[in-house]
Amino acid sequence: MNSHTRTMSVLTQIFAVALFNLRALPQRKAAALTAAIGIAGVVGVLVGVLAIAEGFRRAMTVSGSPEVAVVLRSGSSSEMTSGLERDATRTVADAPGVARNAAGPLSSAELFVIINLPKRSTGTDANVPLRGVEPGAFDVRGNITLVAGRRFATGRNEVMVGAGAARAFAGLDIGKQIKVGQNVWEVVGIFTANGGLAESEIWADTAVLQPAYHRNNSFQAVYVRLDSAAAFQPFKDALTSDPKLNVKVSRLSDFYEEQSTAVTKFITTIGVFIASLMALGALFGALNTMYSAVAARTREIATLRALGFGAGPVVCSVLVESVLLSILGGALGAAVAYLLFDGYRASTINWQSFSQVTFAFRVTPMLLGKAIAFATLIGLGGGLLPALRAARLPIAAGLRES
């Protein structure tokens, strides 16, 4: 018998034994269902937690265009720790590579402060970012869409509110007023930013916000739109080589990615840890199910071995049953998690700025694929030892089983 014929024979045996095992599943439906549901629970929790991390990451990075750059003081890890004087912001706006329109350079020198507002859901106060922007901010970002009301008027105590902040915090409806320090600000508009970070913010005229916070003529960051993504390096080189400046220049996409890293890593680590603990329980459930299945078919397995079926096909057939149960359970858990969590809106604190970020849970195809792969690993682990036991059963002793 040549190698090809032997291979076909082994595959035929695996298929025959696996099909025989699967046909016997209804006789063990209670144990099989318990194992599948346990794995579904593991996958559901894993997908739910990782959907938080994925949603937060997307909110932080979706609006980070490679054609937009942000300039901070050198050594700053966030806008909260940065500071730039007016002369520096003008130098940034006039740097090579900055796009222009009829009004001048597409740049916005901005101020970033934190205010306290009550959450709609609990009434407890939370940190909300209040950003002072210049008129060019709308063209710089390029993704700001007014969905209600109007833009704030320059020189007036008016604010626009991101849609996420408006949903999450009380008192941010159009026509309402919020008191910040000694100043009262009227909400005149609500905007979206393609699901990005700006939807968690409140925007005001930076020239009005500066005296309210005694910032005189200082800013914390400058955002600019470049002629193209390729213009970033010449723009950066011009600023970092200028002896009058002491600045850090980043693509906005890289800056947002850096800002999101700590939270997404923490959430992912916690999610994997919890899912791993639950997976141990599911693994023992799968082991118990498959050991019971092998014990119930001891005589059948011995008969197949006596008829010439090899140990390899028996091992593979048990693993196939275990993996299929795990995949079914994983698919069930993934489907439930998708229906429950995808698009669910929440807020959490961004540790870089110590302010709330609103975002939507995001269950992606890649995340679902990872969850199914995780379930498959549980199935392989739960089926391996019972499969080896089945292959090592003495034929004579097995045939005497009643």
Write the CB contacts of 386 (distance below 8 Å, at least 6 apart in sequence). 287, 290, 291, 293, 294, 318, 322
CA nearest to 325, candidates 34, 9, 17: 34
What HEC string does the chain produce? CCHHHHHHHHHHHHHHHHHHHHHCHHHHHHHHHHHHHHHHHHHHHHHHHHHHHHHHHHHHHCCCCCCEEEEEECCCCCHHHCCEEHHHHHHHHCCCCECEECCEECEEEEEEEEEEEEECCCCCEEEEEEEEECCCHHHHHCCCEEEEECCCCCCCCEEEEEHHHHHHECCCCCCCEEEECCEEEEEEEEEECCCCHHHHCEEEEHHHHHHHCCCCCEECEEEEEECCHHHHHHHHHHHHCCCCCCEEEEEHHHHHHHHHHHHHHHHHHHHHHHHHHHHHHHHHHHHHHHHHHHHHCHHHHHHHHHCCCCHHHHHHHHHHHHHHHHHHHHHHHHHHHHHHHCCCEEEEEECCCCEEEEEECCCCHHHHHHHHHHHHHHHHHHHHHHHHHHHCCCHHHHHCCC
Tell me the two tokens of residue 6. Answer: 């032997």
How confident is the model over 119-151, as pLDDT tens digits?
A: 888 888 888 999 999 999 999 998 899 999 999
Nearest to 357 by CA among 54, 60, 42: 60
pLDDT band at 61 (very low <50, low <70, confident <90, very high): confident
Q: How far apart are the first and last CA of the chain?
A: 36
Q: What is the pLDDT of residue 356?
A: 75
pTM of the model: 0.74
Q: How confident is the model at residue 205 (pLDDT cuts 50, 70, 90)?
A: very high
C-alpha pair distances (Å), 72 with each of 221, 286, 337 = 5, 54, 40
- Which letter, b or e, does each residue of 133-154 get, where b requires 16 or more Cβ atoms within 10 Å of its Cβ? bbebbbebbebbeeebbebbee
Alpha carbon separation from 168 to 162, 195, 198, 398 (Å, rounded): 10, 14, 14, 65
For the ranges 88-97, 310-319, 387-396, the one whose mean pLDDT is highest: 88-97
- Residues with Cβ within 8 Å of residue 344, at least 6 apart in sequence: 360, 361
Structure tokens at 365: 């195809």
Give the pLDDT band (50/70/90) at residue 401.
Answer: low
What pLDDT does 380 receive? 80
Predicted pLDDT at 256 = 82
- Predicted confidence at residue 110, as pLDDT, reads 94
Q: Highest mean pLDDT: which of 135-139, 266-270, 304-308?
A: 135-139
Residue 69 is predicted with a pLDDT of 94
User: Residue 160: pLDDT band by 50, 70, 90 thresholds?
Assistant: very high
pLDDT in tens, 67-97: 999 999 998 888 888 999 999 999 999 999 9
pLDDT score of 249: 94
**Residue 149 and residue 185 in contact, taking contact as beta carbons nearer than 8 Å:** no
